[in-house]
Structures are given as structure tokens and as C-alpha cells.
Amino acid sequence: MTHQPKMRNKQIATVRRGSRVLVGVVSLAMAATMCSLDTASAVSGPVPAAAPKAPAAGALSSGVLSSVASTDEQPAIDPVLVSERSSRFATTVLQADGSYQTTVSLTPVNYLDGSGEWAPIDTTMVEPGSASMQDKWAAKNAAADFTALVPNDAGERPVRVSADGSWVTLQLQGLDGAPQVADSTATYTGGQIGAAGEVSYQTTETGLKETVVLDQAPAPAEATA
């Protein structure tokens, strides 16, 4: 019975000694870790900041949406007149998407050209053509199933309208000089009539329109007995 306490004290001493050893091992491990960190910091220096990433296409940058716009634009295609689907009062065109569009008018819009195809009427007055024609005529209508000619000098030559091999002429007495041509109208201001006003000839889709404008009413005629 006297030996048991001694053995108990020995066991306690052993445990205590083992605890000190365990604590010492843990302390060594922590010291080694701290030494490793200090060494890495001394060798590598401060860790550089990560470079900023480039924004993706279409991402917001400073509040502005960045995008790449295509500069390749398809040219616009003008509608094409379809003669077999048109008439004197209606125009049918072929659209770029393959569909047809028809426009109907109360007045003639097309005429049959020399090849028998429907073509748009153009009432604009243009030069009459050859040099010999220009010696006589100031202008003609651009495109129609008739031809209207206005003279270089209204005192020498009448206005002429022709169609299908026939023609008519019109001349006002007292009207002279060359006209002023603009768009579809030729205006004369020369001669006795021109001194009191003006005379204009306008080409239309169906013919020639004459307009006389006087600056004042003519004096009343006096009857004598």
C-alpha cells in the first residue's frame, strides 16, 4: 500500500511532462508558420493589385453603352413599273420585297410609248431636240402620247400640238418675242398683248392649256353712228 501513491505521482508527472512536450510542438509549428510568412513577404514584396478587366462588348462604360455599328448599308431599290399590270389611269410597280403596288388616278398618268409599253407621262418642258428644231421652237413637253411645241418667236410661228400624224396650231395676233420657260409652262410678255399682260402655255397630261392675263380691263368700245 505504500507503493501505490508513488506510482500515481509518477503517472501524473509523465502526463504533465507530455503536456509540456505537446505545447512545445504546437508552439514550434506556429513559429515556423509565422517565419514562413515573413520570409515570403520579404522575398516577394507587396502583392500587386489585379489589373482591371476590359469591359465586354456592349457593356456600360461611364454610363455610355459601347457598341459597334455596321456601316454596310444596303442601297435602296426604286420600285419598277410593271407595264402589263398598268394602264392609262393606273400604275403598278414591283416593290423591293417582291410585292405589287397599284395606284389609280382620275387623270391620265401613263401613255403608250414607241415600243407599246406603258410609261409615265412627264409634262415638263424641255429642249425640242435637234439644232434645226431649236432654231424654230423654244421647248416641248418631255413625254406623252402627243407633242406640244412653243415657238422661239410668237410673232413668227404659232404654237403647235400634234398626235398620231395630225396637228393643230394656235397664234395670237399682237404677241411677239421669246418665252420664259419654267417647269411645264412657257410665258410670253412681248408685243402688244405682252405690254398689257402676259400669255402662258402649260402642258398637261392631255394637251396644252392657254392662259391670258391682262394687267387691267380693256377700254370699252365706243360706238359711232
Average pLDDT of the segment spanning 161-182: 94
Residues 86-115 pLDDT 10s = 999 999 999 999 999 999 999 999 999 999
Residue 63, C-beta contacts closer than 8 angstroms, at least 6 positions apart: none
More confident residue, 37 or 158: 158
* Spans of all domains in the chain: 81-119, 121-214
Q: Is residue 19 scored above 60 in pLDDT?
A: no
Q: Is residue 139 scored above 70 in pLDDT?
A: yes
pLDDT of residue 169: 97
Cα–Cα distance measured from residue 106 to residue 7, given in angstroms and rounded to the nearest whole number: 132
What are the backbone dihedrals phi and psi of residue 83, each rounded to the nearest 5 degrees, phi first?
A: -65, -45
* Paired residues of 90 in beta bridges: 104
pLDDT of residue 49: 52
Q: Are 143 and 121 within 8 A, CB to CB?
A: yes
Length of the chain: 225
